[in-house]
Copies of this chain bind each other. A is one copy, B any other.
């Protein structure tokens, strides 16, 4: 299992071009189930996921994402939000400023890994105007959008960007 798990992690790419085939409800449920099994401090689950398959909404999201048109080209976009209310209720300021960002990021990573394992392509989009996304989706005040994830069947096979060698990002303290 560990070899194939590393393989999923290593071969996942940021996919920015998609075939037009729609994503069905069962696939969406599988992606979100994976997301919600991320670690979460005190099992607070301070996250919320919006899904849209509407072209008009996707186009507005692409605008909010500073014109990244591939966001609209995907047949579906998942908007990963922190639930600030749940975060505050569980852990006050550290919950709201750190844990909910971390938990939602871990959930987003599970979602991306599962998408890749299912043969889908996706991209973690972080460059967007948060207020514009809030306006497009009519989000309640306590939902902070932290990642836009366009998902679809990939129409490209991006090159491996590589990573720094381990010794550049790691040291042992003894």
The interface of chain A, by Cβ under 8 A from chain B, is 1-2, 4-6, 8-10, 12, 14, 29-30, 32-34, 36-39, 41, 43, 45, 47-54, 57, 83, 94, 98-99, 101-103, 105-106, 108-110, 112-114, 117-118, 124, 126-127, 137, 146-147, 161-164, 166, 169-174
Contacts and interface: CB of A to CB of B under 8 A. Distances in A.
A51 B101 contact: no
A32 to B, nearest CB: 5
Contact of A105 (B6, B105, B117, B171): B105
Contacts of A8: 1, 5
A146 B33 contact: no
A12 B39 CA distance: 8
Nearest to A37: B9
Contact of A114 (B5, B39, B41, B106): B5
Given A9-B110, A109-B38, A126-B99, A118 B2 contact: yes
Nearest to A50: B173
Nearest to A163: B36
Nearest to A162: B43
Given A1-B117, A102-B146, A146-B102, A47 B169 contact: yes
Given A45-B164, A50-B170, A106-B106, 17 more contacts: A1-B8, A2-B114, A9-B110, A10-B37, A32-B166, A36-B163, A36-B166, A37-B163, A49-B170, A52-B172, A52-B174, A53-B172, A57-B174, A102-B108, A102-B146, A105-B109, A106-B109
